[in-house]
Amino acid sequence: MNFSAIIRQVGQVSVVEVTGKLTSFESGALRTSIAQLLKEGRKQILLNLSGLVYLDSSGIGDLAHTYMSVIKGGGEMKVVGLTDKVEEILKITQLYQVFQEFKDERSALQSFPSDGGNRKTVLEIVRPNKN
């Protein structure tokens, strides 16, 4: 199974669905996807790792680098859908303490700050004085 990162938008949050194996052969693919999102001003990122079946040291490096890029860019990155294998690897490498993990996508999406879409615009109409 090859690596893929499918991106979809849910409001202001970019959900990156990672599937396959994140290894040295795919090194940089995740970084490139996230870098493009940041370039577009998309700073709220949710990695859905439920389809990630394997990652090696290069994949771990990609996850760490990606996280740091988002944080340095003023963004927020969270994860959802950790399989037992991936969760174990993140615990061993201590990355488990870095990533904010959620059990389901809905709760992860709700944890991001509101985009302010409910803001009301107030128009002030100034009438000239007729003195």
Give the E-state strand segments of 23-131 in sequence order.
44-55, 76-80, 100-102
CA angle 96, 22, 48 (to 5 degrees): 55
CATH number at residue 48: 3.30.750.24
**Based on the structure, what is the number of domains in the chain?**
1
Packing angle of the helix pair 57-72, 29-39 (nearest 10 deg) = 10
Look at residue 121 and tell me if it is in a domain: no
Per this entry, what is the length of the chain? 131
- Determine the pLDDT at residue 6: 93
- Determine the pLDDT at residue 1: 64
Look at residue 117 and tell me if it is in a domain: no
- Determine the pLDDT at residue 121: 28
- Determine the pLDDT at residue 12: 93
Which regions of the chain are under pLDDT 50?
Answer: 116-131
H/E segment holding residue 69: helix 57-72
- Determine the pLDDT at residue 73: 92
